Every structure is written in C-alpha cells, then in structure tokens.
Amino acid sequence: MKISIFGTGYVGLVTGACFAEMGNEVLCVDVDADKVAKLQAGEVPIFEPGLENMVRSNAALGQLRFTTDILAGVEHGDIIFIAVGTPSDEDGSADLQYVLSVASSIGEHMSGEKVIVDKSTVPVGTADQVRQAVSAALTERGVSIPFHVVSNPEFLKEGAAVADFMKPDRIVVGTSTENGARMLEQLYAPFNRNHDKIVHMDLRSAELTKYAANVMLATRISLMNELANLADLLGADIEAVRRGIGMDPRIGYHFIYAGTGYGGSCFPKDVKALIHTAQEVGYEARIISGVEAVNADQKRVLFDKLSNHFAHDLQGRTFAMWGLAFKPNTDDMREAPSRTLIDLLTAAGAQVRAYDPEANEEAQRIYADNSAVEVCTNRTASLTGADGLIVVTEWNEFRSPDFVELKNTLNTPVIFDGRNLYDPDYLRQLGFSYYAIGRSA
C-alpha cells in the first residue's frame, strides 16, 4: 500500500519504518529540514533499539523515503498518517496546531480519495476538527473529493518502540465509515496474523482510549510514590510492599515501582490534557488531578533528602548524576525527573557532573549555556570531585557498580538512589550513607 506519514519523531519514524518493513511504500514528511536531511543520509536522529537498521535497510530498498515536500506527501499516500507532536499548551490542553495544519495541507493538495489517520495523541473530538479542516480547504478550492478520518492511537513505549509496533497487544481503530475501517484492517493484516488484535470502535472512544491507558499507568506510578512517601514516614520498606502486592494477579508488577516521578513526552502532557478536557465538559477529574499533583511533588523528593543530608547548604558542592533520560533505553529527556533535580541543585549553588549512556548529546544541547552542568563521557568520570552520587535512571550499567571504587572516588560516601536499585543493608555495611525512595531513609 502507499502510505504517507506526517511527522518523523518517535512515533512517525517507527510507524514508517515498520510499515515499510512489511512491504509498503512509505513516504515520511517532516517540516524539520535538518531532520529530513539526516534521515535521507541514513542517519537516525533518535535512539531506539532496532530502528536504525530497519530505516537503513528499507531506505536502501526504496520502500522508505523522506521529504519536506508537503505536496508530494499528500499525493503519495492513499493512507495518510498524522503523527506530529501535540505538546501541552499553557493551560495544559493539547496544542493541536500541528495536527490541524497537516489536515489543512491535506485538504489543500489532495486530488483523490484519502484515508486520514490520527496517530498523534489527540483529545476527544479532534477527528471532527480534522474533518472540518480538510472540508474547509476543499470548499475553498471549490472541489468535492471523498475522504475518511480514522483514529488509530499509538501505544508503543519509547525504548521498545519497534518491538511494540511489530507485536502490538492491540490495535485500536476508531472510525465512522466502513471504507476507513477496511483500509486499516488491510494495512495491519501482517501484524495481526496470529490472532485478530484490532479493536473497532467509534472515533471518540478511540481518542479517549489512548488517554485512559496513559492515565491508568500514571495513576499506578503516583499511587506507588504516595505509598513510598508514607512508607518513609512509617518506617516501612516500599520494596517489600511492592513484592507483597505485585504477586496478587489482580494487581501485578507493572508500573508499581516507586521512584522520582514519571516524565517523558507522554504521561505528563496526557494527564494534563485529560484534566483540561474534563474541565471543558464541566467535570472535575479529582483522581487525575491528584495523580499530577503527586507527580510534581515526587520530582522533588530526592532533592529534599539530599538537601537535608547536607544541612541545606549545597553552595559549591558537586554531585555526580547517573541517568538523564526519563527512562532507560531512550535518549528522550522531555519532562525527565533529572531536569527538575538539576534545576533544583544548580539553583542551590551546586555543580552537577552528569552522565547518561544515550542522552548525553541531548543533555549537552539542553545545558549548553549552563556552566554548572558538565556532561561526562562515562560514569566513572562523572564521580571525579563529587560529594555524592545521585542515580536517576535505572540503566543496566548502573545496577551493579563497583561500590569499593565508588567509595574511594567520592569525596563523601553518600548515594541518593531515585530508583531503589541497591541493597540498603549492604551499602550501609560498606560505610555509605544511602537514601532511596520509600525505604525509611
């Protein structure tokens, strides 16, 4: 099939590469000329396991192409995916300007029947707005061309995006026309051979399903963080509690790790957007608002422990920070807890020696003008001259460090572990001061 994809970020690029891998002819369109030039040269601008190989091999076969030419993008695809960003606006609502601009472009340039697929995460009712934007552009041209709007939200996880896309748990397809549904069934057939994973529904339900999934997961994280803070006050160990509840099959182990709060490009903005959507229809979303408030506070918890340890005098101190990405296996630092911590530390007069296995380049870009932050090439280098170690992201390489070397290198043997990676008793035996989340320290 001929497919066009607008937006070549984490979602658009993975979607394009995976559809090309299945033998479709894919044209990816982006307004970011630098990004497109890199992709045309075989360079993948984001880190995502397995993506680079897939992009290169399909580009070599001519099945995956990249362009900034909007007209070519609209002409090429019988199915056109909108996978552009939907960032938070100032009031927390999802900013739809990029989605609607693509919709208008489609209406301005289309010359034959199209299936237009909203893959971006968009508030309930956006499919209607997309339909109106396309219709308005067609009316302006004085032409009438059939088109179908489909909602097909994406559930991939950064860090496992290719694997998730190739083996989805479910494929949600929201439609109001038979044609739209049939085209998507055909397109997704190769991902669906083992058993049918498509869940058909109306457009509004499909749009809400995406928010429901993210808010459910964010709620588990905030609830666990709230329990962890309580465990600290009560002298309990949240890791024991986690195991004690995770074994219950009604609860399970996923998304019940206490930590430094959720980040990334999805949970924070999607939680905010759903609160805003609720307000618009006169409903006060109390649980969801609580999830957001707990998360905002949680991003401070490790800093407060650190500040207490140093009697609130951080001026001139230096800290090693391991992990900058909002989670392992990605280079994405959007809304990452590391950023809140770095802001708090540097505002208190401390220096940060930061290291991440994949996000160093992104960190260098973000902190280019901040002399209080030095991005280090490896984890050992980050420890030089540090008064303590802060662990923010649970990359594998941070799980079993050489603690003796660590103790010898740090100015003072203190670890602030935002991911509960280490054994508190063992570290205390070794002579470390050890602070974790919800482990009574």
Ligand X SMILES: NC(=O)c1ccc[n+]([C@@H]2O[C@H](COP(=O)([O-])OP(=O)(O)OC[C@H]3O[C@@H](n4cnc5c(N)ncnc54)[C@H](O)[C@@H]3O)[C@@H](O)[C@H]2O)c1
Binding footprint of ligand X on the chain (CB under 6 A): 6-12, 29-32, 35, 83-86, 98, 101-102, 120-121, 154, 156, 158, 265-266
Judged by CB, which is closer to ligand X: 29, or 325?
Answer: 29
| CA proximity to 190, closest of 171, 166, 174 | 166
Tokens of 184: 């998507």
Nearer residue to ligand X within complex by CB, 12 or 357: 12
In sequence order, which residues have a C-beta less than 8 Å from that of residue 135 and are 6 or more positions away?
A: 107
- 376 tagged catalytic: no
- Residue 342 CB, nearest distance to ligand X (Å)? 22
Q: Cα–chain-centroid distance for residue 88?
A: 13
CB nearer to ligand X: give 132 or 409: 132
Q: Which of 18, 28, 266, 376 is catalytic?
A: 266
Question: Cβ-closest residue to ligand X?
Answer: 9
Shortest separation between residue 276's beta carbon and ligand X, angstroms: 14
Choice between 28 and 183, CB closer to ligand X: 28
CA-to-CA distance for 264 and 241, rounded, in angstroms? 26
Q: How far is the CB of 119 from ligand X (least distance, A)?
A: 6
DSSP string, 173-192: EE-SSHHHHHHHHHHHGGGS
Least distance (Å) from ligand X to the CB of residue 355? 23
SS3 105: helix
The nearest distance, CB 128 to ligand X, in angstroms, is 17
Compute the C-alpha angle 101/85/116, nearest 5°: 55
Complex with ligand X: residue 29 or 392, whichever CB lies closer? 29
Count of Cβ atoms closer than 10 Å to residue 84 Cβ? 25
Task: Work out the end-to-end distance of the chain between its first and last CA atoms, rounded to an integer number of angstroms.
Answer: 58
Q: Is 408 exposed, middle or buried (0-12, 13-18, 19+ CB in 10 A)?
A: exposed
Helices (H), 145-235: 161-166, 178-188, 203-234
Residues classed as catalytic:
266
